[in-house]
Amino acid sequence: MEHLFDDQDWEIVPAGGATGEAFFAQYQEQKLFLKRNSSPFLAVLSAEGIVPKLVWTKRIENGDVITAQHWLKGRELDPDEMKSERVAKLLNKIHSSKPLLSMLERLGQEPFQPEHMLAEIETSVEFDLLSLPIVRQALHFLQQELHQMQHEEYVVCHGDVNHNNWLLSDDNQLFLIDWDGAMIADPAIDLGMLLYWYLPEDQWENYLNQYGVPLTDELRVRMQWYVVAQTLLSIQWHKAKGRFHEMNHWIEYLHKIL
């Protein structure tokens, strides 16, 4: 990494994260966020103002591509701030963006279908989890309601809109970061997670009005379906990692949403 800055004495440190491909770079008052082999999708996210500005992209000798973004001082949103109108508006901007959709299509992304998600759950959830009545009930719900999951308008979805991935900069700019799981899918994937996790149900209609769609019975079913599916996948993921406290948390959450 250091040889990207031959002319200056930059300090480069790992930024953490699961992949180990991200770094912070600093020289005097200049600060950058570096990432190895980011998708070309990052350039469109930057142009649309959804992530901090992309400063440059460089290919290095081994063929890797390094991207540099402005490193902004700021903080993640508090859970209560997820109810704000500006979050709803930015999510709508993402879901409505033709440039984002066009780029993912050019990168070969196929629309993510609910039957794919159900098939993943049916093959990955382990037998001892299926011995739990609530897990069997959740799986039965997904199978029974699959016929209601057809939706014509597929958009770019983030896939993990929890409050940790929303960045509010010190100069009051809002961004949605960490796009590694981006997909072309039903917007109910993002909306369901956001509403179920952060808003009481009596606020859903007003929030969706700010986002720009009505709260219909059809949307309710689609949001619930995806939240149940994501919860089952979370239960299995935490079990596989031996994180049983988190696994039990999501098992309890299934009781709540069913």
Cα separation, 35 vs 21, whole angstroms: 6
Ranges of H-type helices in 152-201: 188-198
- Please tell me whether residue 209 adopts helix, strand or coil conformation: helix
Helix (H) or strand (E) holding 34: strand 30-36
Q: Count the neighbouring beta carbons within 10 Å of the beta carbon of residue 183.
A: 18
Do β-strands 11-14 and 22-27 pair in parallel, antiparallel, or remain unpaired? antiparallel
**Per DSSP, what are the bridge partners of residue 58?**
66
Letter string b/e over residues 74-112, b meaning 16 or more CB atoms within 10 A of that residue's CB? beebeeebbbbeebbebbbebbebeebbebbeeeebeee
Tell me whether residue 171 is one of the annotated catalytic residues.
no
Letter string b/e over residues 6-35, b meaning 16 or more CB atoms within 10 A of that residue's CB? eeeebebeeeeeeeebbbbbeeeeeebbbb
Candidates 64, 160, 180, 202; catalytic one: 160
Do β-strands 155-157 and 166-169 pair in parallel, antiparallel, or remain unpaired? unpaired
Task: Write the burial class of residue 147 (CB in 10 Å: 0-12 exposed, 13-18 middle, 19+ buried).
Answer: exposed
Cα separation, 233 vs 117, whole angstroms: 9
- Which of the residues are catalytic? 160
